[in-house]
């Protein structure tokens, strides 16, 4: 079900709209944001020379460091009097990335989130239980207002308080649920301990985001909760959740709402644009943001793009599920590997639960890697045999030889009830 006619316009009409909006955005940032005026002038770019999105590769990138350097609001393109809301990303590695919203920005956010929820299979008659965190994190508010814009009922449970989440799923008969993928699995475990089978509850759709996940983890979520698990993508620097989403009809890549966010994929090392279908770093340009327009933002997220027709009828480009972050790549004794690749291998084994931990250390100037996996409940095999089979598979698929591979009993890996799950612990 489409929410907005722009989802099915011709590619020509969509490109004309993108060109028009990009030209307006470049003019706005050059006039109102000193940072961008300096960057464009240094690159020899006159706003009058930008005719449309074909000119984007000539424009400079924006990075997360740029956001932090402009802290708190030197990158705003409007006066603070026009800003009606402020959110911020995590500041665990330095100052947070602060973003502001005008009334128009909030209206756009509500619309793209309603559009995303409709694509995910949520409709106006549904009750949506929102377990994303509220506060400076954009997840909670983004989903909340999108559900209301769609005309559905929202239950603002927020993150954590799992016993109450389960109670609400039962008593209010929620049709849809939103949270991180790791929290879906945690909720399923806690429900089982309480004697509740989530598969027998009315909830039929979960909208998962904020963390990379593999197809194996999605399969586990769908099996344990008896739902369709739909991937949604966003980031606070662009708007929050609602940049792209899977359609329930295909679940084959996430439609990027190109009338508001123009996507590119570049080589993470050189910054050169990559052809359609090739994996690289996702770069996004905002086309309608008023408070904080963003030009060629390097997200760090690894994906690929396709403009092949989708069975749902939407024409907007699809991005593949994010496989990890460019800066999350692990390099151990010359082997380059992403945590998601390790996850894909270990979850091939039915005996392994969808929980793992990677510990990096350094001994005598050499990097080491230890992997911990958790057994499923009812495992009655030989842990040593399982360990050997996993090690062989890691060597075969990834050429990775872990220094240690520990197999722990069910529940042996610590769970997180709130926030994004931490898989990699770097002790170097």
Cα gap 112→130, rounded to integer Å: 17
Residue 119 and residue 249 share a domain = yes
Return the CATH number at 252: 3.40.50.12780
Residue 248 and residue 126 share a domain = yes
Low-confidence ranges of the chain (pLDDT < 50): 92
Is there a cis peptide before residue 72, judged by omega within 30 degrees of 0?
A: yes
Residue 302 and residue 352 share a domain = no
Indicate the residue among 327, 349, 364 that finishes a domain: 327
Indicate the residue among 270, 304, 327 that finishes a domain: 327
Considering the entire predicted model, what is its pTM?
Answer: 0.84
Number of folded domains that form the chain: 2
Return the CATH number at 334: 3.30.300.30
Residue 182 and residue 43 share a domain = yes
The pLDDT tens digits of the residues spanning 169-226 come to: 999 999 999 999 989 999 999 999 999 999 999 999 999 998 888 888 899 999 999 9
pLDDT for 366 equals 64
Residue 242 and residue 112 share a domain = yes
Residue 121 and residue 70 share a domain = yes
**Which among 177, 178, 128, 176 has a CA at the least distance from the CA of 155?**
128
Residue 36 and residue 6 share a domain = yes
In terms of residue numbers, what domain contains 340? 329-426
Cα gap 172→166, rounded to integer Å: 10
Packing angle between helix 181-193 and helix 215-225, nearest 10 degrees? 30
Task: Please say whether the dihedral angle defined by the alpha carbons of residues 275, 277, 278 and 279, taken in this order, is positive or negative.
Answer: positive
pLDDT for 92 equals 47
pLDDT for 364 equals 62
Q: Which residues contact 11 (CB under 8 A, 6 or more apart)?
A: 307, 315
Residue 345 and residue 274 share a domain = no
Percentages (nearest 5) of helix, strand, coil residues in the chain: 35, 25, 40
Q: Are 281 and 326 in contact (CB under 8 A)?
A: yes
Other beta carbons within 10 angstroms of residue 301's beta carbon come to 20
Residue 310 and residue 364 share a domain = no
Residue 355 and residue 292 share a domain = no
Q: Which residues contact 386 (CB under 8 A, 6 or more apart)?
A: 349, 351, 352, 375, 407
Residue 252 and residue 212 share a domain = yes
> What length does the chain have?
428
The partner residues of 86 in beta bridges, in order of sequence, read: 100
Indicate the residue among 276, 294, 327 that finishes a domain: 327
In the structure encoding, which two tokens stand for residue 356, read together? 């793992």
**Which among 155, 134, 148 has a CA at the least distance from the CA of 87?**
134
The pLDDT tens digits of the residues spanning 90-126 come to: 654 567 899 999 999 999 999 999 999 999 999 999 9
Residue 240 and residue 166 share a domain = yes
């Amino acid at each position: 079900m489409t929410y907005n006619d722009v989802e099915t316009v011709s590619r020509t009409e969509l490109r004309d709209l993108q060109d028009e909006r990009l030209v307006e955005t470049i003019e706005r940032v050059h006039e109102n944001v000193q940072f961008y005026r300096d960057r464009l002038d240094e690159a020899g770019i006159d706003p009058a020379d930008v005719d449309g999105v074909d000119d984007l590769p000539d424009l400079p990138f924006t990075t997360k460091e740029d956001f932090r350097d402009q802290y708190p609001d030197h990158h705003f393109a409007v006066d603070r009097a026009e800003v009606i809301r402020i959110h911020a990303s995590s500041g665990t590695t330095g100052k947070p990335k602060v973003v502001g919203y005008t009334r128009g920005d909030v209206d756009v956010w509500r619309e793209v989130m309603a559009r995303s929820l409709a694509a995910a299979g949520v409709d106006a008659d549904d009750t949506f239980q929102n377990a994303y965190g509220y506060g400076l994190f954009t997840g909670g508010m983004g989903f909340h207002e999108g559900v209301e814009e769609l005309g559905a009922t929202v239950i603002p449970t927020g993150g954590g308080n799992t016993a109450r989440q389960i109670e609400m799923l039962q008593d209010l008969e929620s049709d849809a649920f939103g949270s991180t993928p790791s929290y879906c699995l945690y909720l399923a475990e806690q429900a089982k301990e309480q004697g509740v089978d989530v598969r027998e509850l009315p909830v039929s759709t979960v909208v998962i985001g904020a963390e990379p996940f593999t197809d194996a983890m999605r399969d586990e979520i769908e099996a344990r909760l008896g739902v369709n698990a739909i991937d949604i993508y966003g980031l606070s620097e662009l708007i929050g959740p609602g940049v792209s989403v899977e359609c329930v009809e295909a679940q084959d890549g996430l439609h990027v709402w190109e009338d508001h966010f123009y996507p590119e994929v570049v080589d993470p090392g050189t910054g050169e644009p990559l052809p359609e279908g090739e994996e690289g770093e996702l770069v996004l340009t905002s086309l309608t943001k008023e408070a904080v327009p963003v030009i060629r933002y390097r997200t760090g997220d690894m994906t690929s793009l396709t403009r092949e027709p989708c069975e749902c009828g939407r024409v907007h480009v699809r991005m593949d599920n994010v496989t990890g972050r460019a800066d999350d790549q692990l390099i151990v004794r010359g082997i380059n590997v992403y945590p998601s690749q390790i996850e894909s291998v270990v979850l091939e084994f039915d005996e392994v639960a969808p929980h793992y931990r990677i510990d990096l250390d350094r001994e005598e100037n050499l990097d080491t890697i230890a992997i911990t996996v958790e057994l499923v409940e009812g495992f009655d095999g030989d842990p040593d045999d399982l360990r050997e089979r996993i090690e062989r598979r890691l060597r075969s698929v990834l050429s990775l030889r872990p220094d240690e591979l520990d197999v722990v009993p069910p529940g042996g890996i610590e769970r997180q009830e709130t926030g994004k799950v931490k898989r990699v612990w770097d002790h170097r």
